[in-house]
Amino acid sequence: MSPLRWMITGAGGMAGRDLTDELRSRGEDVLAYTRAELDIASPRALGAIIRENKPSIIVNCAAYTKVDAAEENEALANAVNGSAVEFLANAATAGDALLVQISTDFVFDGSQRTPYEINDETNPLSVYGKSKLLGEFAASHADKHLVIRSSWLFGTHGPNFVEAIRNQIRKGTTPLRVVDDQRGRPTYTPHLAHAIIRLAQLAQQSADARGTVHYADAGDCTWFDFAKAIVEESGATVDVRPVTTAEYPRPAKRPAYSVLSTERYERLTGVEPESWREGLRDYLALKP
């Protein structure tokens, strides 16, 4: 089999940088484009780059991820998370490349109390969730496509919940009031990078590994539980108190329960998800 050439869009973001770094550390052939280097909303630019470089796998890490701001910027969120993915799908098909689209647990409404399987009904509550669901539909138009849903991402290359809590600790905020009625699976972006590589390699080889797959780190918790773990692992002495979503209103509505089932990921790869708690320790070791 000829060696793979990877193309990463949104390579300046949290997930994109960790994926690019991991691929390069493995000696893979990688083309990585930040938002400044490639506007995925430009079909002409996309088509030219893909025709010239002939990637085997295109991983789209570019996204509008400001969940609350999306409520007032619906057109922009839909353009980046939806329409641009349509352009990518068309360009991927024209270049006979596999398109890997990164999506989110926010495509679900949180009404379940058992982990969401890949075929469970989607019903996003927010503009962000709706725009990401548009992106899933758009990606499915590529002849070869893989949609990977993940959740509650944190990594060293972007704003995230871990750093937000640590900033509050540094400011001396106490008690910390954190929502305790939203449950999900935190995911460390280097762990997600490992999963993307495994899944993309399988999907490149076999149509049976395409479609939708969930990857999230092992262990579910609430944001309150997550904050307590951050405080513990940081060695801080801060009081963390639970509050309800109603006590901490945000512009965008969040699913109360968005735990993803990783059954298909485990079955395809033969690998169990890595631990978010281990990911948190790695994060803190890199950003003391």
The angle that helices 276-286 and 189-205 make with each other, rounded to 10 degrees, is 120
**Token pair for 251:** 């512009």
Tell me how far apart the alpha carbons of residues 223 and 276 are, in angstroms, rounded to a whole number: 13
Could you tell me how far CA 267 lies from the centroid of its own chain?
20
Distances in whole angstroms, Cα of residue 214 to Cα of each of 32, 56, 116: 24, 22, 9
Tell me how far apart the alpha carbons of residues 281 and 278 are, in angstroms, rounded to a whole number: 5
Catalytic residues, by residue number, are 128
Tell me how far apart the alpha carbons of residues 129 and 115 are, in angstroms, rounded to a whole number: 18
Please tell me whether residue 21 adopts helix, strand or coil conformation: helix
Kind and range of the H or E run holding 144: none
Strand pairing partners for 149? 103, 214
Residues 34-50 as b or e (16 or more Cβ within 10 Å = b): bbeebbbbebebbeebb
Number of CB atoms found within 10 A of residue 224's CB = 20
Number of CB atoms found within 10 A of residue 141's CB = 15
Please tell me whether residue 61 adopts helix, strand or coil conformation: coil
Q: Which residues contact 44 (CB under 8 A, 6 or more apart)?
A: none
